[in-house]
Amino acid sequence: DTEVTQTPKHLVMGMTNKKSLKCEQHMGHRAMYWYKQKAKKPPELMFVYSYEKLSINESVPSRFSPECPNSSLLNLHLHALQPEDSALYLCASSQEQGAVYGYTFGSGTRLTVV
Amino acid sequence: QQQVKQSPQSLIVQKGGISIINCAYENTAFDYFPWYQQFPGKGPALLIAIRPDVSEKKEGRFTISFNKSAKQFSLHIMDSQPGDSATYFCAASIDQAGTALIFGKGTTLSVSS
């Protein structure tokens, strides 16, 4: 299995809702990443997990809460989002933390906040 | 100094032509330079990457040229095909620090048949 699987593919949520994004990989990768991508923009790093521990938080607002329950699974919990948070949320993984290992990206979750 | 500047923003090339995308950086600590390809509705995928101790790397129709003194690198797509139509991102990182990628703003390539 050489894929990163993200669910759901699409999500519409109200500003008072709580939802979660899920990311799964079975490549034995020990680093996992959350990126946010707005239309026609590059991906922006949000969080990095290495060996299931939070390694990097790019000053992301607390309404985004990451969780890494095990080495194969990464969640992003969403609460009280704003319309400007609407974007494509990408999960990626790599063998170890570091771009040199090459990131494998999922196809993303298209999030719309209404 | 953490930026990677990419040009052009968009590019139209005839089928069979050469596509050239350029990137420039300021931080001399960067030591890993990948290119990612992204199709609509998909996540980016690693295409090819280079280290600064090499001036050129070729994989099939894709070539990275690297100019360390000018702090520039470029992607050349030879014999461009309609299936190459996608958004291309150059990027850079500092390997020793295990830092995440700094992406350029992207180039949308359209190859016309």
Would you say residue B100 has pLDDT above 90? Answer: no
DSSP per residue, B14-55: ETTS-EEEEEEE--TT--BEEEEEE-TTS--EEEEEE-TT-S
Contact A29, A95 (CB under 8 A): yes
How many Å lie between the alpha carbon of A8 and the closest alpha carbon of chain B?
A: 13
| Distance between CA atoms of residues B35 and B21, nearest Å | 10
**Tokens at B18, concatenated:** 């050469």
**Three-class SS string for A92-108?**
EEECCCCHHHCCEECCC
Q: Specify the higher pLDDT residue, B50 or A2.
A: B50
Of chain A, the percentage scoring pLDDT greater than 70 comes to 100
The pLDDT of residue B97: 64
The pLDDT of residue A100: 87
On the question of a cis peptide bond just before residue B34, with omega within 30 degrees of 0, the verdict is no
Of chain B, the percentage scoring pLDDT greater than 70 comes to 96
Average pLDDT over residues A88-94: 97
**Tokens at A20, concatenated:** 């979660």
| Distance between CA atoms of residues B26 and B100, nearest Å | 17
The pLDDT of residue B96: 66
Q: Specify the higher pLDDT residue, B19 or B102.
A: B19
**For residue A42, which residues of chain B lie inside 8 Å, CB to CB?**
89, 103-106
Window 15-54 of A, Cβ < 8 Å to B: 33, 40-43, 45, 48, 50
Start-to-end CA span in chain A (Å): 36
Average pLDDT value for chain B: 94
> Dihedral, CA atoms, A40, B31, B5, B80, nearest 10 degrees?
-60
**For residue A107, which residues of chain B lie inside 8 Å, CB to CB?**
41-43
| Distance between CA atoms of residues A59 and A78, nearest Å | 15
The pLDDT of residue B46: 95
Q: Considering only the beta carbons, identify the residue of B34, B98, B106 that sits closest to A97.
A: B98
Would you say residue B47 has pLDDT above 80? Answer: yes
| Distance between CA atoms of residues B48 and B41, nearest Å | 21
**Tokens at B110, concatenated:** 């359209």
How many other CB atoms are there within 10 angstroms of residue B55's CB atom?
Answer: 12
The tens digit of pLDDT for each residue in A75-87 reads 999 999 999 999 9
Best B42, B47, B87 residue to mutate vs chain A (most A CBs within 10 Å):
B42
How many Å lie between the alpha carbon of A97 and the closest alpha carbon of chain B?
A: 6
Average pLDDT value for chain A: 95
The pLDDT of residue B1: 62
The tens digit of pLDDT for each residue in A21-66 reads 999 999 999 999 999 999 999 999 999 999 999 999 999 999 999 9
Q: Specify the higher pLDDT residue, B79 or A98.
A: B79
Q: Considering only the beta carbons, identify the residue of A90, A99, A108 that sits closest to B100.
A: A99
